[in-house]
Structure formats: C-alpha cells, structure tokens
Amino acid sequence: MTEVIRKIVLATRNMGKLREMREILREVKVELTTAADVGAPEVEETGSTFEENATLKALAVARASGLMAIADDSGLEVPALDNDPGVHSSRYSTEGTDAANNVKLREEIRRRGLTRPPARFVCVMVLATPEGVKFTVRGEVEGEIREEPRGESGFGYDPVFFCPELGKTFGEAKPVEKESVSHRGRALRRLAELLVPELT
C-alpha cells in the first residue's frame, strides 16, 4: 500500500521562519511548500493580536491554494514597554529591518532607564483548511533583553534576547539549541502532535 503524503503550505515568506519550521516538522510525513510556490497572495496583517493575524494568513492561503496551510504570527513582548513591539515586531522601526528594529528596541529601553528588562517571545500558530481553522496553538519562551547584541545566528531580535534556559542569546545559539526551547519550536511541536492523527 502506497503511503499518502499530504501537502501543506507554510504561509510565510520569511526565510528564517521557513528554515525553522521545515527543520522542526521534518519527522512529520508531509510535503511542505510555501505560499509563494502555490501562488497564494501576501496577506496584510491587520489583526491586533497574534491569534488574529495567524488566522487571517492561514485561512487566506488555505482558500487560495485549496490545501492545508500553517501560518504563524510571532513577536517579542517586553512588559516594561507595554508589551511592545508585540504584533509590530517585524516593522517596529521606520525602516523595518532587523538591525533598525533592534536599535529602536534598545533606545526605548535606555530611554526608560531599564536594565536587562524581562521579555518573552510569543508564537501563535494556526492550521487551517479551505473550510476553516482546525487548530490554534501557542508557544512562549521567557528571557531578557541585553544591551549589546551577541551572536550572528537566527534573525530578528535573536542577538539581544538572552535565554536563561540556554545561558546565551538566541543569536549565539546553534539552530538545534534554539529549536529546543524557542517559542516557534514549542508551538510547532504541539501542532505536530495534533496534526499526526489527521494524516493517518
């Protein structure tokens, strides 16, 4: 009997996220493709929460492709900054680049006289079919913001996010180390647990 491999669209064009998601889902027997590969349109993130944005993207890509789609919305929350950058993490600065976003974050922290403020990375992941949402999961990892960036791995705020579980910033961590504790890794592993019964 031939094993049926289901195709799932990863509704992101962020190459850093794609690499992480493909690595974590490598044990799940699915064929992973991207929104760009199936010609799905880019979806504007108009929601006010991670859940709303992930749902918007997953449903839009699932309906455009006719396939299952996984979308996530994730970001950094610093409670002392009223949970900013939050849903605006990727476009926190005017330029919207990783470097500019990190500079703005550190400037805001200094402006408020903070030292190593607690922070958390949050990831909400949604799996949808053309008919609607099937699963919504959430992953978080706690840490703190360091003044000086350290490490060149990862992307986004990784160089300034110190993770006590690893004893280093995400920027210093090897991919396998980061995946073991990251917000996206935790959300994806939970989603994989829910997904496996759907594929059998």
Give the structural domain span for 191.
6-199
CATH number, domain of 184, equals: 3.90.950.10
* Chain centre distance of CA 127: 14
Asked whether residue 1 is assigned to any structural domain, the reply reads no
Q: What are the φ/ψ torsions at residue 33 (nearest 5 degrees)?
A: -130, 175
Which pLDDT tens digit goes with each residue over 119-176? Answer: 999 999 999 999 999 999 999 999 999 999 999 888 899 999 999 999 999 999 998 8
Out of 72, 73, 84, 98, the active site residue is 73
Which pLDDT tens digit goes with each residue over 25-69? Answer: 777 777 888 888 888 888 888 889 999 999 999 999 999 999 999
pTM: 0.88
Give the number of domains in the chain. 1
Asked whether residue 171 is assigned to any structural domain, the reply reads yes
73 catalytic? Reply is: yes
Say if residue 199's pLDDT is above 70.
no
Asked whether residue 29 is assigned to any structural domain, the reply reads yes
The model's confidence at residue 100, banded by pLDDT at 50, 70 and 90, is very high
**What is the C-alpha to C-alpha distance for residues 186 and 128, in angstroms, rounded to an integer?**
19
Asked whether residue 180 is assigned to any structural domain, the reply reads yes
Asked whether residue 55 is assigned to any structural domain, the reply reads yes
Say if residue 3's pLDDT is above 80.
no
Start-to-end CA span in the chain (Å): 13
Instruction: Please tell me the predicted confidence (pLDDT) of residue 5.
Output: 56
**What is the C-alpha to C-alpha distance for residues 31 and 28, in angstroms, rounded to an integer?**
9
User: What is the β-pairing status of strands 68-78 and 168-169?
Assistant: unpaired
Asked whether residue 170 is assigned to any structural domain, the reply reads yes
Asked whether residue 113 is assigned to any structural domain, the reply reads yes
